Amino acid sequence: MSNILRCTVWWKQGGCAISVQEKRVRSKSLRALPGALLLCLALAGAALPPVARAQSLHPVASGPLGVQVSPQLFATMCALYAAGLPAEPSVLDTDPAFVTLIAQLRQLQGPATDALRDYYRDHALADSGSAASRYIAFALVAGPPPDFKVTMERVELPPDVLTLDGFSEILANFYKEAQIAQRWRLIEPAYNRYAEKLTEPLGHVALIESGYLREVLRPGVRTFTVYAEPLVGSRTDFRNIGDRYIVVAHPSLDSSGEIRHAFLHFLLDPLPLRYAQDMVSQSQLLQIAANAPRLPAELRDDWSAFFAECLVRAAELRLRGLKGAQLAGELDSADADGYVLVRPLVAGLMNFETSDPSITLYFPMLAGSIDVAAEQQRLKTVVFAAASPSGEDSASSPDHANSAPDLEVALNEGERYIAGQQPVAAQGVFERVLQQTPGQPRALYGLAVAFVLQGNKARARELFKQAVAATSADSTVLAWSHIYLGRMCDLEGSREEALNEYKAALAVADAPEAARAAAQRGMDRQYQPVGHDSTPG
CB atoms within 10 A of CB 9: 22
Task: Judge whether 305 lies within some domain.
Answer: yes
Quote the CA–CA distance of 32 and 214 in Å, as a whole number.
Answer: 8
pLDDT of the residue at 316: 95
pLDDT of the residue at 83: 93
Average pLDDT over residues 421-434: 85
- Of 223, 248, 265, the last residue of a domain is 265
Task: Judge whether 396 lies within some domain.
Answer: no
Domain that holds residue 301: 271-379
Q: Does residue 432 sit in the same domain as residue 309?
A: no
Quote the CA–CA distance of 107 and 96 in Å, as a whole number.
Answer: 17
Average pLDDT over residues 360-379: 95
pLDDT at position 42 over 50: no
Backbone angles phi, psi at 477, to 5 degrees: -60, -45
Q: At what angle do helices 180-213 and 303-320 cross, to 10 degrees?
A: 70
Ranges 11-25, 34-48, 102-116: which has the least confidence: 11-25
Ranges 119-128, 325-334, 423-432: which has the least confidence: 119-128
pLDDT of the residue at 62: 39
- Of 215, 242, 265, the last residue of a domain is 265
Task: Judge whether 131 lies within some domain.
Answer: yes
Task: Judge whether 385 lies within some domain.
Answer: no
Ranges 214-223, 352-361, 441-450, 517-526: which has the least confidence: 214-223
Model confidence over 302-325: pLDDT tens digits? 999 999 999 999 999 999 998 889
pLDDT at position 40 over 60: no
Quote the CA–CA distance of 428 and 447 in Å, as a whole number.
Answer: 9
- Of 224, 245, 265, the last residue of a domain is 265
Task: Judge whether 533 lies within some domain.
Answer: no
* CATH at 428: 1.25.40.10
Query: CA-based Rg of the chain, rounded to a whole angstrom?
Result: 25
Q: Does residue 358 sit in the same domain as residue 417?
A: no
pLDDT of the residue at 388: 59
Q: Does residue 62 sit in the same domain as residue 176?
A: yes
Average pLDDT over residues 170-175: 97
CB atoms within 10 A of CB 97: 12
pTM as predicted: 0.65
Task: Judge whether 119 lies within some domain.
Answer: yes
Quote the CA–CA distance of 404 and 417 in Å, as a whole number.
Answer: 20
Model confidence over 487-519: pLDDT tens digits? 999 999 999 999 999 999 999 988 888 888 889
pLDDT of the residue at 9: 30
Counting the structural domains of the chain, the total is 3
CA angle 372, 374, 376 (to 5 degrees): 65
pLDDT of the residue at 128: 65
Backbone angles phi, psi at 110, to 5 degrees: 150, 165
Residue 313: C-alpha distances to residues 35, 166, 299, 309, 331 (Å): 22, 39, 14, 6, 10
pLDDT at position 101 over 80: yes
pLDDT band for position 94 (50/70/90)? confident
Average pLDDT over residues 454-461: 90
**Does 510 or 213 have the greater pLDDT score?**
213
Sign, CA torsion 486/491/494/496: positive
Q: Does residue 315 sit in the same domain as residue 233?
A: no
Q: Does residue 256 sit in the same domain as residue 340?
A: no
pLDDT of the residue at 87: 85
Quote the CA–CA distance of 395 and 56 in Å, as a whole number.
Answer: 47
Across all residues in the chain, what is the average pLDDT?
81
Q: Does residue 318 sit in the same domain as residue 421?
A: no
Task: Judge whether 77 lies within some domain.
Answer: yes
Q: Does residue 221 sit in the same domain as residue 356?
A: no
- Dihedral class, residue 86 (left if φ above 0, else alpha if ψ from -120 to 50, else beta): beta
Q: Does residue 278 sit in the same domain as residue 218?
A: no
pLDDT of the residue at 26: 26
DSSP for 181-231 reads HHHHHHHHHHHHHHHHHHHHHHHHHHHHHHHHHT-----SS-EEEEEE-GG
pLDDT of the residue at 426: 85
pLDDT of the residue at 420: 67
Quote the CA–CA distance of 86 and 128 in Å, as a whole number.
Answer: 8
Task: Judge whether 384 lies within some domain.
Answer: no
Q: Does residue 253 sit in the same domain as residue 275?
A: no
Sign, CA torsion 32/37/38/42: positive
Quote the CA–CA distance of 4 and 248 in Å, as a whole number.
Answer: 10
Quote the CA–CA distance of 313 and 226 in Å, as a whole number.
Answer: 21
| Paired residues of 247 in beta bridges | 226, 238
Q: Does residue 158 sit in the same domain as residue 86?
A: yes
Q: Does residue 331 sit in the same domain as residue 369?
A: yes
DSSP for 244-299 reads EEEEEE-TTS--HHHHHHHHHHHHHTHHHHHTGGGGTTTTHHHHHHTT-TTS-GGG
Q: Does residue 1 sit in the same domain as residue 143?
A: yes
